[in-house]
Amino acid sequence: MWKSVRVNTRTCSVAREDIKDDYKLLGGRSLIAQFVMDEVDPRCDPLGRDNKMVFCTGIFAGTSVSTAHRLSVGAKSPLTGTIKESNAGGTGATYLANHGIRMLVLEDMPETDDWKIVRIDANSEVSLIPAGDYLGLDNYAVVDKAKAEYGDNVSVISIGKSGEMQYKNAGIAVTEFGKGHPCRLAARGGLGGLMGTKQVKAIIMEQAAQKYKPEIADPDAFKEKVLLVNKAMAEGANTSPLAQIGTNSITAASGPQGVLPVKNFNGELSKNYEALSPTTFMENLASRGGKNRVGCQAGCLVKCSNIYHGKDGKYLTASLEYETIALCGANLDINDLDRVAEIDRFCDEFGVDTIEVGATLGVIMDTGKIAWGDADAAMDLLKEMEEGTEFGRLMGEGTEAVGNYLGAKRIPTVKKQAIAGYDPRNCKSLGITYAMSTQGADHTFSSSFGAAPSIIDNSNKFFQPYIAQLLANLTAFVDSSICLIAVGALGLPGIELLPGVLAAMHGIEFTMEDLAAYSAKVILTERAYNKAAGFTVEDDKLPQFFSDEVSKATGAVFDLTEEEMQAILKFV
């Protein structure tokens, strides 16, 4: 039976119990939705003792379904005040699953300075140990230290100094499969800051001596169904640019279409998206000894990750992704992958969300505080966050706080969370997604850029609510089971293979209709939670400037009405 482990960070008690019956079919995002609904007061202060955070695995964890081991982290978000599920690749979920743990909950908060590390040893024993000199370390240093103490095989889930400082743009780093770089972040929504309030610097896991094997109701059918999924995924990966290049393959389409954000979402075409393009990216990897086709977790057949070396041929960063390149590159007019990689590395070390940070810097540049394209000045400001200067701390509060403070004209946020690497005027389905996401402006709520047939004009309203709804409804299930990017390679027909896997696993009937109902329940639970937290349809809005300012790249404005957007939540 899967276990639920509860760690009380005030009393330092650790309780281990069987997972509730109600939670048996839940994992990842669906488990978080239900857990947060059940246990976290929607009106609580997210940085207060009543907030709880949960680390959990997906519904196929412990099996050979490819990419079944995303680590989902959930709570009430310190940044948005909404429910939050933020997930990351890396080894964390695989290790948790091997220890037989479906969910690990951090509750309450210490009354004094009492930083701890949650340790899970080879015998799957969970204990709290003093954080000692892990405190104050950057994520890479945390991992180095953990490796030195527990061996190279260790899996680390940690916060950088940003988390210690309770920043609302702080994420949670997870070590990547292979080299173990802490480059996979559950970045969004300030969950790193929340972990900071619990005074847990890291979760350090050794590989389980005895690997937990989940019960499978119908092993033969299960094996067969899993094989189908994995085969389809491997085949998809053979052609998908997400696998062959990585997420930065998106730049090839988003740049010329005006979807790639430019200078704080000013709506223009990038003057130099070529410098950020897949071509440049691949050339840089090849010429400096970096590589792509890296799997962030064991058994991934898509392998969208990468290791990026600098001009000097030395390791610079890993998992340099599209969103980072969009927000910290084009959005800042820093059209230089090396400089973006440098920012990415800093963010991984310090432990902050590159989307939020890129958007924050964009707003700052837009107000003239530092110049467009000035990567040195951008780095200096990032370091201010680290030094904890007054302005640096303000940056840690997120894009909206900085924008309001500076009186910025354009603040690209929804529910206080920065929008991602797609201009909502020129990919309207993403505009709907930002507005309607239960998590603040979250592109993964319905990651629809490139999903519509090529005859569809994404800057037109037509088709956009439909594709946003379609993907939102699939994604809630995907976020509970496998990796969303892998699903991009798997394609829509491949998703239809997933219900069969769950059916065989539990010996139940589970069809695509059930999958849709499952997703709907997740979204409705999240919406209900947000409503109880005080959110209304008034909050489901994009910043007005997207409707007022014409995108020079396409002539489009964001013109979907509230009614058109809310309709994507009609599930029956």
Partner 1 sequence: MISQSAPIVPVLSGMNSHLRVGIKAKELGMTKVLVVYDAGVLNAGIVDPVIENLKASRIDVVTFGKVTPDPPDYQVDEGGKLANDEKVDGLIAIGGGSVLDCAKAINYLTANPSPINQWFFPAIPQGKPLPMIAIPTTAGTGSEGSFAAVITDSATGIKKAILDGNFCRYSLTVSDPLMYAGLPAKPSAYCAFDVLTHSIDSLFSAYDEPYSHMFAETAVRKVVKYLPRVIANGNDYEARQEIAFSATIAGNLLNTNMAGNTHCMGHNIGAVFHLPHGLAVALPLVSLMKLFYSKWRPERAKLVGECFGVHFSGTETVEEIGELTGNAIFKFYKDCGIETFSELELNEEDLEKAIDKMTDDIQTPTTYILMSRSDYVSVIEHMKTLR
For partner 1, which is the closer residue by CB, 35 or 422?
Answer: 422
203 near ligand SF4, judged by CB under 6 A? no
* Residue count, binding to ligand SF4 (CB under 6 A): 13
* Region from 181-189, 217-225, 343-351, 549-557 binding partner 1, contact rule CB under 8 A: 549-557
* Region from 99-107, 263-271, 519-527, 535-543 binding partner 1, contact rule CB under 8 A: 263-271
Q: At what angle do helices 337-350 and 278-288 cross, to 10 degrees?
A: 80
Local structure of residue 171 (DSSP, 8 states): -
Mapping DSSP onto H, E and C, the string for 10-55 reads CCCCEEEEECCHHHCCCCHHHHHHHHHHHHCCCCCCCCCCCCCEEE
Q: Look up residue 51 and give its amino acid.
A: N
Under a CB-based contact definition with an 8 Å cutoff, are residues 212 and 100 in contact?
yes
Among 305, 439, 473, 525, binds ligand SF4 (CB under 6 A): 305
Under a CB-based contact definition with an 8 Å cutoff, are residues 189 and 444 in contact?
no
555 near partner 1, judged by CB under 8 A? yes
Instruction: Compute CA distances 349 → 162, 246, 340, 382, whole Å.
Output: 9, 22, 14, 12
Q: Which helix (H) or strand (E) holds 427?
A: none
Q: Which helix (H) or strand (E) holds 120?
A: strand 116-120
Compute the least distance from the CB of residue 564 to partner 1, in Å.
17
* Region from 63-71, 192-200, 268-276, 347-355 binding partner 1, contact rule CB under 8 A: 268-276
370: tokens are 């530092």
* Region from 128-136, 264-272, 433-441, 493-501 binding partner 1, contact rule CB under 8 A: 264-272
* Residue count, binding to partner 1 (CB under 8 A): 15
Q: What angle do CA 195, 70, 137 make, to 5 degrees?
A: 35
552 near partner 1, judged by CB under 8 A? yes
Partner that binds at residue 553, options ligand SF4, partner 1, none, CB closer than 5 to 8 Å by kind: partner 1
For ligand SF4, which is the closer residue by CB, 365 or 482?
Answer: 482
Among 73, 75, 195, 296, binds ligand SF4 (CB under 6 A): 296
For ligand SF4, which is the closer residue by CB, 128 or 237?
Answer: 237
How many other C-beta atoms lie within 10 A of the C-beta of residue 238? 10
Q: Residue 315: beta bridge partners?
A: 309
188 near ligand SF4, judged by CB under 6 A? no
Under a CB-based contact definition with an 8 Å cutoff, are residues 195 and 172 in contact?
yes
Partner that binds at residue 485, options partner 1, ligand SF4, none, CB closer than 5 to 8 Å by kind: ligand SF4
Under a CB-based contact definition with an 8 Å cutoff, are residues 59 and 76 in contact?
no
For partner 1, which is the closer residue by CB, 12 or 557?
Answer: 557
The mark string for 398-417 relative to partner 1 (x by CB under 8 A, - otherwise) is --------------------
CA dist., res. 430 & res. 437, Å (int): 10
* Region from 108-116, 139-147, 153-161, 478-486 binding ligand SF4, contact rule CB under 6 A: 478-486
**Interface with ligand SF4 (CB under 6 A):** 67, 89, 295-297, 300, 302-305, 483, 485-486
**Interface with partner 1 (CB under 8 A):** 256-258, 268-269, 271, 459, 550-557
